[in-house]
Amino acid sequence: MNILIINSGSSSLKYQFFKMPDQQPLSAGVVERIGKENCFIRHKVQKDGVEKLTESTFFIKDHAEGLQKVVQLLTDFETGIIENINEIEVVGHRVVHGGEDFTTAVMVTDEVKEKIRSLFSLAPLHNPVNYKCIEIAEKTFPNAKQVAVFDTAFHQSMPEYAFRYAIPEKYYAEMRIRAYGFHGTSHKYVSAAAMAWMGKPDAKIISIHLGNGCSITAVDSGKSLDTSMGFGPLSGLIMGTRSGDIDPSVILHLLRQERRTPDEMDILLNKQSGMLGLTGHSDMRDVRKLLEMGNYDAELASDMYAYRIKKYIGSYAATLNGLDAVIFTAGVGENDPQMRERVCRDMEFLGLKIDQDANRIKSSEIKEISSAESRVKILVVPTNEEFEIARQSFELLSEEPPCEQVELY
């Protein structure tokens, strides 16, 4: 089954092409800065065991034009792996918000699209572009089946006492205000990979997704029990530009004292806070450079970043009533050994002790970085949301048994 995965952001379009059930992508790429000058395209293809990389810069005005460029690359004699678009049987889409309606991957129908539209207000930066890319794909690949996989779906297993807020019941009954959680596709993938690696399907796991957006999830036997992001992706850990948890009184104070509008508060907390607000930089690689220069703000911000994670680890260890493994994943989680060490420092009471040498070894595969004395495994698990979407799409549309975790390309 030939499956094209589309993972669209507000100004980007990531894609991977799988020939399932081989479980290895034959092509992968990203279109970045859509609608801006110097739009960048990076395209990889595997042919006869050899990887070929193509990079180019174009002006691409919108996602429709970006997807057409992807089609050109996939069907080109030099850069492609198919002769025509009819060879694509399934297009799998990442959709950020599924509300309470979706707990698994679903075939896209008019009813499904209408429900995605109804959730625009809950994910205004993501659901509209996810919806748009579904409509573009329907026109671009008229013979392919369209499948939607939702970031919130994995967290629908949270118990009501975990996802409800202590506000009048009518706001949940009438407006469905509750914690939904995000990054579910990533947390599902890495927790399943860790359980398979450990050979322990009933493992109690804390999954820490650290990228520009950050979240942490308590996973018991493959099910999400609680997660740090809530009604929206603002709460929880400190992130690149988001504040994470903040006393609501601060928001009320700023609204009153500075007479800020709700939109201005949205920009402040989502785009001007987090590591950017603390250091002037949202990228942890830039913060790392400041740390190496002895910058006080960077040192304080890194301590705050790690401390918030440590608080959640303690909380979720209690939620799980035990702990078998802690997972680091995503851009920062996979590539910043100093931050991993900072998070795991002074955590022996919970059974976490990191191996400094193992922590600094780079690997594209699952690696254990806990010491021999550690009672809890500390793992670095590379995430691959696109593969997880492909797997769920394949299992939805075929009679094949569930796919196993595999080494990533």
378: left (phi over 0), alpha (psi -120 to 50) or beta: beta
Beta bridge partners of 210: 214
* Residue 134 to residue 62: CA distance in whole angstroms: 14
Q: Which residue has the tokens 């929206």?
A: 232
**Distance between CA atoms of 190 and 381, rounded to whole angstroms?**
6
- Residue whose C-alpha is closest to residue 224's, from 164, 152, 176: 152
**CA–centroid distance for 57 within its chain:** 26
Q: Which of 48, 76, 101, 151 is catalytic?
A: 151
Both structure tokens of 117:
């539209």
- Short-list 298, 291, 300, 274, CA closest to 213: 274
| Cα–Cα distance measured from residue 9 to residue 115, given in angstroms and rounded to the nearest whole number | 19
Cβ neighbours around 250 below 10 Å, total: 11
Measured between alpha carbons, how far is 367 from 380 in angstroms, rounded to an integer? 5
- CA distances to 86, 186, 261, 337 from 382, rounded to whole Å, are 32, 9, 40, 14
The beta strand positions in 78-171, using DSSP E, are 90-95, 106-107, 145-150
Locate tokens 């994470």: which residue? 244
**Closest CA relative to residue 270, chosen from 124, 57, 60:** 124
266 given a catalytic annotation: no
CA atoms lying within 13 Å on the CB side of residue 223:
10
CB contact burial 175-197 (16+ within 10 A = b; e otherwise): eebbbbbbbbbbbbbbbbbbbeb
Number of Cα atoms under 13 Å in the Cβ half of residue 340: 34
Helix locations, 322-361, DSSP H: 330-335, 337-344, 356-359
**What amino acid positions are annotated as catalytic residues?**
151
